[in-house]
Chains A and B, each alone.
Chain A
């Protein structure tokens, strides 16, 4: 068929255009995660009448906000072909610093919040410094800092819980009503942070460099990118997001708990990133995908509870889910090679 056939044959042209459009839509990186989300939502709305209630959906979002913010930092790290196993315990440590300073040490609540976040940023700098300066694998560095943050949380808190918290620490747990459902300010903050991360990753040179460093660090170095500086900035910013997640965590639990943030949060954040289509091999992925991935994780946890699945089985399901997502990543990576 020649090109003149194609242009003269109008209906056929339209058909081709539609096929092309469908193909391009399916190839868009966020479509896979979005379909997975729709499937999950579909499944749980059939199995439970309560699932699609506005009140339940707003609850899902509230449950998502902590893991959702952790997953922003985790996305940055994974884009550079690293991984941060310490995100949950670093957040736990930040949360204890904030609450203990505010409740027990009588520090001004705002200052306490900032110091708690600073502790998390400190861990980010430690992770980034070890990965860049000592050239250790991120996996082993963050496995180490996971344990350090865990130990510091218990040592610093003496295994005590801190409450009642001053109102400044609870602000993001407050709700407002929109379309008959309650939303917390924390959910709004999470969405704002996603918008900022999207801008930084797609509209600035820094974002390009993050992708380039994850794609091929040697090639990035040869084009003149200061790869060490990029990596250090990524881990530092990740630490900051864990600090913000810590504030959201206490605004939800309304206490400083040495046991909080240490069970499912680590794996949930990584699962959210991988379900969102970001490759563990680095250099590929989108922040919007991570948001969808975080919502999928939230929907799973909420839905499984609604249909009466015991908590221990939820661990089982999350474990299987993350392995499935990673397998898909591995297979597509092999096909690209």
Chain B
């Protein structure tokens, strides 16, 4: 890993809300082609970190580099323009619009010629074709690209959000608790989808509470505690209880005690 340059990195990021220090000088690296899980207890600063990386908030200190160059995102739109797409926990889709419209929402394509430039008419067929292609690439099966998103299951909706992110993300995709609202079978589909995104060459930052999923998917695990990165581990180097112990700040003695309790 040390030979390659990180695609995205952050140094000594600080974010304060009044007296509350949400980020206390944390570092961060994401390497090409990897799934990096970010874990941490509630209030450890993981969502603040993700918001800073996706442009949803501006850090008070520190720096963020993308492909080696320093960036200052003032809004999620800036980050998106730089090639960073985010899949939000609460599914940023418009339920009454169809699948193709959702893929192109906010980035609609107009017809060529005066019909497009003067009348501003949409290229609906072109957008549908393009959307169908993305779904085929990600191996997502959908009834029809003209279905309204509200008629889809939770997993299929999340599929739409992931497909949109991977269609537009040129550098990386951030996924914030993508399986939090899903059932077992649908969760499985979304996990496969996340792998599929990595196979296409896009690195993924995955925020999740679900340790088994994190250990199944992630190449590396970035652990946050009290606004700082306390460790970066891999599923091979550490066990789940060890990772949880680092996350919660349990001492080595407490950890051993917990481990022996588990195995009577």
Task: List chain A positions with a Cβ less than 8 A from chain B.
Answer: 199, 203-206, 208-209, 211-212, 215-216, 218-220, 222-225, 283-284, 336
B114 touches A (CB below 8 Å): no
CB pair B122–A283 under 8 Å, yes or no, is no
What is the bound-complex CA distance between A215 and B93, given in angstroms?
Answer: 9
A-B contact pairs, 16 of them (CB 8 A): A199-B119, A203-B124, A205-B120, A206-B120, A208-B108, A211-B94, A215-B95, A216-B93, A216-B95, A218-B90, A219-B93, A223-B94, A224-B106, A224-B107, A225-B105, A284-B96
CB pair B95–A208 under 8 Å, yes or no, is no
What is the bound-complex CA distance between A167 and B253, given in angstroms?
Answer: 95
The chain A residue sitting closest to B150, CB to CB, is A336
**Could you say which residues of chain B place their CB within 8 Å of the CB of A223?**
92, 94, 105-106
**Could you say which residues of chain A place their CB within 8 Å of the CB of B244?**
none
What is the bound-complex CA distance between A48 and B119, given in angstroms?
Answer: 46
For B66-97 the 0/1 string (1 means CB < 8 A from A) is 00000000001100100000101011111111
Which single member of B76, B96, B106 contacts A211 (CB below 8 Å)? B96
CB pair A208–B101 under 8 Å, yes or no, is yes
Interface residues of B, dominant DSSP: loop
B121 touches A (CB below 8 Å): yes
Given contacts A224-B77, A225-B105, contact A204 B122 (CB under 8 A): yes
Which single member of A205, A206, A216, A224 contacts B94 (CB below 8 Å)? A216
CB pair A224–B80 under 8 Å, yes or no, is yes
Which single member of A203, A222, A284 contacts B76 (CB below 8 Å)? A222
What is the bound-complex CA distance between A44 and B203, given in angstroms?
Answer: 66
**Could you say which residues of chain A place their CB within 8 Å of the CB of B93?**
216, 219
CB pair A204–B121 under 8 Å, yes or no, is yes
What is the bound-complex CA distance between A237 and B150, given in angstroms?
Answer: 29
Q: Which 8 A-B pairs have the closest CB atoms?
A: A205-B108, A222-B92, A224-B106, A212-B94, A219-B92, A223-B106, A215-B94, A283-B96
Interface contacts beyond A216-B95, A220-B92: sample of 15 additional A-B pairs, CB < 8 Å, sorted by A: A203-B121, A206-B120, A208-B122, A209-B106, A212-B94, A215-B95, A216-B94, A218-B90, A218-B92, A219-B91, A220-B94, A220-B105, A222-B76, A222-B88, A283-B95
**Could you say which residues of chain B place their CB within 8 Å of the CB of A218?**
90, 92
CB pair A224–B95 under 8 Å, yes or no, is no
**Could you say which residues of chain B place their CB within 8 Å of the CB of A216?**
92-95
CB pair B122–A205 under 8 Å, yes or no, is yes
B110 touches A (CB below 8 Å): yes
What is the bound-complex CA distance between A224 and B108, given in angstroms?
Answer: 11
What is the bound-complex CA distance between A219 and B157, given in angstroms?
Answer: 13
**Could you say which residues of chain B place their CB within 8 Å of the CB of A206?**
120
What is the bound-complex CA distance between A220 and B107, given in angstroms?
Answer: 12
**Could you say which residues of chain A place their CB within 8 Å of the CB of B124?**
203
**Could you say which residues of chain A place their CB within 8 Å of the CB of B122?**
203-205, 208
CB pair B76–A224 under 8 Å, yes or no, is yes
CB pair B120–A219 under 8 Å, yes or no, is no
For B214-225 the 0/1 string (1 means CB < 8 A from A) is 000000000000
**Could you say which residues of chain A place their CB within 8 Å of the CB of B76?**
222, 224
What is the bound-complex CA distance between A22 and B93, given in angstroms?
Answer: 30
